[in-house]
Amino acid sequence: MILEFAPRLRDTLTRGIRKAESGNLDKPEAHNKMKTELEGRTKRFSLDLILILKSLPKGYLGDVIGRQLLKSGTSIGTNYREANRAESKADFVHKVNLSEKEAAETVYWLEICMEASLGTSAEIERLAQEAKELLAILTTIGRNTKR
C-alpha cells in the first residue's frame, strides 16, 4: 500500500513544483488574508455590539432585546470561524449560511432598536450598517462557494 501511494505523492509534488516554477500557482496567501481579515472584522463587530448593549435600558425590554442581539451578533463571527475550519465544502457552505442567517437576524434586532429608540441611535445605526455589510459579504461567499 505504501509503495502504491509513494508514486502518486511524488507525481503530485512534482506537478506542484512545476506550477511554482512556472508561476501558475494559485495565490492562497491572498485568500487566507481575506479570511483572517473577515474573522477580525466579525470579532470587532461583536466587541462593538457588546459595548452598545451596555447602553440599552435596564429592565425586561433591554434584557430581552439585548440577549437576542448578543446571541445573533456574536454568532456571526463564531460561525464564520467554524466555516474556515470546515471539514468539507458542504460543511463550509452550511456554516457560512448559518453566519449569514445570524447577520440577517442581527440587522433585524438593530432595526428594532433604532425604531424603538433604544440605545444610542448613532452607534446603533453604525452597527446596523456594519451588520448589513457583513451580511452582503457572507451572502456573496455562500453564493460563490455553492457554484
Q: How far apart are CA 116 and CA 113, in angstroms?
A: 5
Residue 18 lies inside a defined structural domain of this protein: no
Average pLDDT over all residues of the chain: 85
Residue 97 lies inside a defined structural domain of this protein: yes
Write the CA distances from 122 to 45, 52, 89, 117, integer angstroms. 15, 11, 39, 11
Write the CA distances from 137 to 25, 35, 121, 140, integer angstroms. 26, 11, 24, 5
Print the domain residue range for 92: 28-146
Residue 22 lies inside a defined structural domain of this protein: no
| Cell numbers for 65 | 432585546
pLDDT at 6 over 90: no
Residue 33 lies inside a defined structural domain of this protein: yes
pLDDT digits (tens, 9 = 90+) for 31-65: 677 778 999 999 999 999 999 999 899 999 999 99
Residue with more model confidence, 80 or 1: 80
pLDDT digits (tens, 9 = 90+) for 106-124: 999 999 999 999 988 899 9
pLDDT at 94 over 90: yes
Residue 50 lies inside a defined structural domain of this protein: yes
Residue 23 lies inside a defined structural domain of this protein: no
Place of cell 456573496: 140
Residue 14 lies inside a defined structural domain of this protein: no
Q: Which CATH number is 56's domain given?
A: 1.20.1440.60
Q: How far apart are CA 4 and CA 41, in angstroms?
A: 46
Tell me how many domains the chain contains: 1
Residue 112 lies inside a defined structural domain of this protein: yes
